[in-house]
Structure 1
Amino acid sequence: MLISIEQVLSKDEVRQFRTILDGAPWQDGAASGGTLARTVKHNEQVDDSADVAISLGNHLLRTLGAHPLFVSAALPRKIYPPRFNRYASGGGYGAHVDSAIMHVPASAVSVRTDLAATLFLSEPDEYDGGELEIEGAFGGQSVKLAAGDMVLYPASSLHRVAPVRRGARIASFFWIESLVGDEGARATLFDLDQAIQQLTPVLATDDARLLKLTNVYHNLVRRWATT
């Protein structure tokens, strides 16, 4: 299940992020790649321990915690702290799969990577190339969103970032461990929750049909969630 979430950050927030990131300490992104991935990874990243990365990451986490569509789609249990990367001058990231378990630096926390997220911080017309290409059961999908928009997709997917031929592609990326680890179950819950949200404005709050659907949703969460 691939979901695009619009305007996670406002245009003003994007400008603030970009201003701060323009002055951030960038380093070779290959250093954070796995044994295989680092051979095909050609980008720059902000050091995870840098104050700027922590501050911007915390802002993003607070925003996502209050975002209904993100919560509905991800049912987050843990989120790996957001990272920030930049692709320019032909930089790209060849086909790879994310590690199944990621350990948060300087902590005892481990995150099972059920979902991956990319939040775009550059507008599409600022750069050529740089598409996030994701392989799925029904073929490949190419994603290049407006600044402030985010794509959420299974971390188990084979994916790549096409080389950037002009300009710079700046983004935040991170991983989510869901309360519901099974992708099919999570997709079913998302569809059901979206249907309930669409019906809520047009039905009375005590409508028996709405109450029954809500009851089914929460009972399925109880059955499938791990805490």
Structure 2
Amino acid sequence: MNKEMIKYPFYLIVHPFNGFWDLKYEHNKRISLIISFVILFLLVVTNVLSSQYSGFLVNLYNPENMNSLMEALYVVVPVLFWCVANWSLTTLMDGEGKFDEIFTSTCFALLPLVLINFPWIWLSNLISIQEAMFYYFFTSFAVLWFVFLLFVGNMTVHQYTPSKSVGTILLTIVAMGFMAFLCLLFFSLVQQMVAFFSVIYQEIVNRY
């Protein structure tokens, strides 16, 4: 992996139209996937550290009750749901993007969340309550930047018009909600089955 590939994600987030086009048609897919996993890992680390070490003025979590695994899942699961839902829908809507291209473009779009939020983990411990507005401004800006990059990436990967890309994104969000509902239903069913067989086992043990 050369220096140009390491610098490329930073080029992409400030030149998204050219960047996503090159990502789809010009760049080495294997190296792009490696960089995508690195960005996703960095976002997981940022999310975990934010929950643990952000200043008490802006931290909504109790660090003593923080579960690192769950914080990691809060990042990884939505990304996977997005990619699966988007790929499933776009295959029915003449989208040109492959699953790996959707995953890569999504992960590259996450980079502003790392670049902006990571420094504020430590800066949030130095600000006063009057300065907390700067924290919320920059974190909101990071989210808006991410959403814009996600929109451009979706439009470029699938070769959609802006209006069709917006419609696809909205349908993808709906599909993600449906997937989340099915997963909750599945785990609830599994939990009930485990409880049922556990009761039967205890009855048999107590009886004999």
Per the normalisation by structure 1, the TM-score is 0.28
Q: Which has the higher strand share?
A: 1
| Greater Rg over alpha carbons, structure | 2
